[in-house]
Amino acid sequence: MTTTDITSLAQQHDLRATREYKNYIDGQWVSSSSGKTFEDRNPADQDDLIGTFQESSEDDLNAAVDAASRAYESWRLTPAPKRAEYLYKVGDILKRDKDKIAREMTREMGKVFDETKGDVQEAIDMAFLAAGEGRRLFGVTTPSELHNKFNMAVRVPLGVAGLITPWNFPIAIPAWKGMAALICGNTVVIKPASLTPLAVIMLAEAFEEAGLPKGVWNVVTGGGREIGEPMTKHSKIRVISFTGSTEVGRDISVACAPTFKHVHLEMGGKNVIMVMDDADVDLAVDGALWGAFGTTGQRCTAASRIVVHAKVYDQFVEKLAGRAKKLRVGNGLDPKIDMGPSVSASQRKTVESYVKIGKDEGATCVAGGNALTDGDHARGFFHEPTVFADVKRDMRIAQEEIFGPVTAVIKCDSLEDAISIGNGVKYGLSSSLYTRDVNKAFTAMRDMETGIFYVNAPTIGAEVHLPFGGVKETGNGHREAGVAGIDVFTEWKSIYVDYSGALQRAQIDTE
């Protein structure tokens, strides 16, 4: 695809003209105090400049936190059903502009248009789900052990929420976190990933159009060192919600400890599809292709390991490799394309390094294995969908998160062997099993050490009304999405109302 073709494609899809985007602080679009900006370019075509964004400093973060802190005093007192009305409006705006937003996200992040539409749909779904909680946010009532006394527990907001969001789901994950934070009565300061700031800017535009009170939602763009680190230490930020690598999550947990912030961490994964000898092999191959190469493998839930029973192993590998070789790689705005680019040059370099590691370890590359750098791929960060066979469970490509279009196929002898291999990593996010045997399905449901489990489906495809998150080094015990996401952004207050007119002493005056 030539530059002229890309330009024509952009015009056809009515994409935004290049411009400078500002921070959104206290209901105003403002430049950073540094006066500096950074560029955001299309990973499928580095000649395509999406825009320039504010290279913010700690001063800009402080301004945003101050605005959020001021807004909190009135926002927390706004009845939750009234807060919900803003989220319903935002959901409608996102629904109206779904295709436009998705096209910009494909341009910014690289994944194919159908996938970015799904990303926006998650934000829409989360807006409506969280808004519905505005008329619930259930607490509990319980009987008292004393006469004429009423007991209850209610949820209360925390204050200013600091959100640090990744580039692979650039509007869905900010919505997962942000909608839950807002409906609970918190105000928000969000630092989007520097590779995909436009998606969060577009979300802020939707909040602005919906009339959200100033200071309730604030966006500060910039680097992790300049913005993210000060967020973890700011005394007015009471909760940090982070999605990213386990290494950074560990640093955030340590940084937040001195001020006793609430911390929600959603981190790495090394997810497994297990294929039994009684499985529908063709269905399992379909799932493996989608799980391994959807979003170019750049999902925390990507199926980067596939454990296959020895009786169907050769058949499965042959079919998966053949299908992987036929996937069309290119610009995600082109409807003929199956897989887009890596998000950056460094991400593709990481993929290339792991392909070399796999070969050096003795695995057999049966599909792909190469960066794509010529012709239509010359200006982007493309890599072939890559399948390794003859992989051993302790190889690095079977243990370490790659975050790219690489999957490792491992042989097993039984369900118990598959579960042992599946659990034999430090992560615990998502797993799946292909089988026709309900007993095997329930055994794996029980024994897999993951926060998400699928039967006869790949490791990706979570829906917003169920909790999302993992165990071991994937998370720190919290979940987002669903009603469970509310737990991150609230704490409990127990209330006792004694209407007896006399002093009653719990645990003493009970006889």
Read off the pLDDT of residues 54-100 as tens digits, 9 standing for 90 and up: 999 999 999 999 999 999 999 999 999 999 999 999 999 999 999 99
CATH 3.40.605.10 in the chain: give the residue spans: 23-267+475-492
245 has pLDDT over 60 = yes
| Residue 396 falls in which region: left (phi positive, over 0), alpha (psi -120 to 50) or beta | alpha
Q: Is the pLDDT of residue 6 over 60?
A: no
- In which band, very low, low, confident or very high, does the pLDDT at 482 lie, cut at 50, 70 and 90? confident
Secondary structure (3-state) at 290: helix
The residues of the chain that CATH labels 3.40.309.10 are 272-455
Q: Which two tokens stand for residue 479?
A: 């979940």
CB 171 within 8 A of CB 101: yes
- pLDDT (average), residues 447-466: 96
| Bridge partners of residue 345, in order along the sequence | none
Closest to 432 (Cα-Cα) out of 460, 411, 413, 406? 460
* pLDDT grade for 7, boundaries at 50, 70 and 90: low
Separation between Cα atoms, residue 114 and residue 120, nearest integer Å: 10
Quick one: pLDDT at residue 511? 74
Query: What's the topology of domain 23-267+475-492?
Result: Aldehyde Dehydrogenase; Chain A, domain 1 (3.40.605)
At the topology level of CATH, where does 272-455 sit? Aldehyde Dehydrogenase; Chain A, domain 2 (3.40.309)
Average pLDDT over residues 264-268: 95
Chain Cα centroid distance, residue 80: 26
Q: Give dist(CA 446, CA 305) in Å, integer.
A: 20
297: left (phi over 0), alpha (psi -120 to 50) or beta: left
Cα separation of 295 and 115, whole Å?
A: 7
pLDDT of residue 11: 53
What is the predicted pLDDT for the residue at 146? Answer: 95
Q: Is 35 exposed, middle or buried (0-12, 13-18, 19+ CB in 10 A)?
A: exposed
The pLDDT of residue 15: 87
Output the pLDDT for position 483.
87
Q: Tell me which DSSP letter residue 4 carries.
A: H
| pLDDT bracket for residue 467 (50, 70, 90) | very high
pLDDT confidence of 465, banded at 50, 70, 90?
very high
Q: What letters, b where the CB count within 10 A reaches 16 and e where it falls short, cover 209-224?
A: ebebebbbbbbbbbeb
The confidence band for 12, taking pLDDT boundaries of 50, 70 and 90, is low
Q: How are strands ordered across the β-sheet holding 140-143?
A: 140-143, 149-157, 490-498
Instruction: Say what the pLDDT of residue 491 is.
Output: 96
Q: Which amino acid, one-letter code, is at 152?
A: M
Reference 206, options 95, 93, 97; nearest CA is 93
Residue 364 is classified by DSSP as E
44 has pLDDT over 60: yes
Catalytic positions, written as ranges: 266, 300
Q: Give CA–CA dist 232/251, Å, rounded.
A: 10
Q: State residue 306's pLDDT score.
A: 98
Percent of the chain with pLDDT over 90: 94
185: left (phi over 0), alpha (psi -120 to 50) or beta: left
**Where does the pLDDT of residue 10 fall: very low under 50, low under 70, confident under 90, or very high at 90 and above?**
low
Cα 449 to chain centroid, rounded:
20
pLDDT score at 205: 98
DSSP β-bridge partners for residue 239:
161, 262
Long-range pairs of 396-399 with CB within 8 A, sequence gap ≥ 24:
396/354, 396/357, 396/358, 396/361, 397/354, 397/357, 397/358, 397/361, 397/363, 398/270, 398/305, 398/425, 399/270, 399/425, 399/426
Rg value, the chain, Cα: 24
Say how far apart CA 98 and CA 91 lie, in whole Å.
10
* 193: DSSP letter: -
Tokens, residue 122:
């998650």
Q: Collapse the DSSP code of 167 into the 3-class scheme (helix H, G, I; strand E, B; otherwise coil) and give the result.
A: coil
In angstroms, what CA-CA distances link 51 with 2, 11, 240? 21, 16, 28
| Pairwise CA distance, residues 394 & 440, whole Å | 25
pLDDT tens for each residue of 123-150: 999 999 999 999 999 999 999 999 999 9
Residue 278 tokens read as: 């009684």
Above 90 in pLDDT, residue 9?
no
Tokens matching residue 120: 């926006």
Q: Quick check: 149 and 227 in contact, CB under 8 A? A: no
Buried b vs exposed e over 288-322: b needs ≥16 C-beta within 10 Å?
bbbbbbbbbbbbbbbbbbbbbbeebbeebbebbbe
pLDDT band per the 50, 70, 90 thresholds, residue 13: low
- Amino acid 196 reads T
Residue with tokens 């942000």: 178
The average confidence (pLDDT) of the chain is: 95
> How many residues can be counted in the chain?
511
Can you tell me which residue has the tokens 């001021």? 70
Choose among 169, 196, 126: nearest CA to 295: 169
Instruction: Please state, in angstroms and rounded to a whole number, the distance separating the CA atoms of residues 241 and 507.
Output: 39
Confidence grade of residue 509 (pLDDT, cut at 50, 70, 90): confident
pLDDT one-digit tens code per residue, 378-430 = 999 999 999 999 999 999 999 999 999 999 999 999 999 999 999 999 999 99
Query: Helices (DSSP H) in 97-171: which residue ranges?
Result: 98-109, 113-133
In degrees, rounded to 5, the angle at the alpha carbon of residue 307 between the alpha carbons of residues 305 and 313 is: 125
| Strand bridging mode 427-428 / 471-472 | antiparallel
Tell whether the model's pLDDT for residue 8 goes beyond 90: no
3 has pLDDT over 90: no
- Confidence class of residue 338 from pLDDT cuts 50, 70 and 90? very high
pTM for the complete prediction?
0.94
How far apart are the C-alpha atoms of 136 and 139, rounded to whole Å?
A: 9
Task: Say which residue the tokens 């950056």 belong to.
Answer: 344
What pLDDT is recorded for position 4?
52
Distance CA 319, CA 310 (A): 15
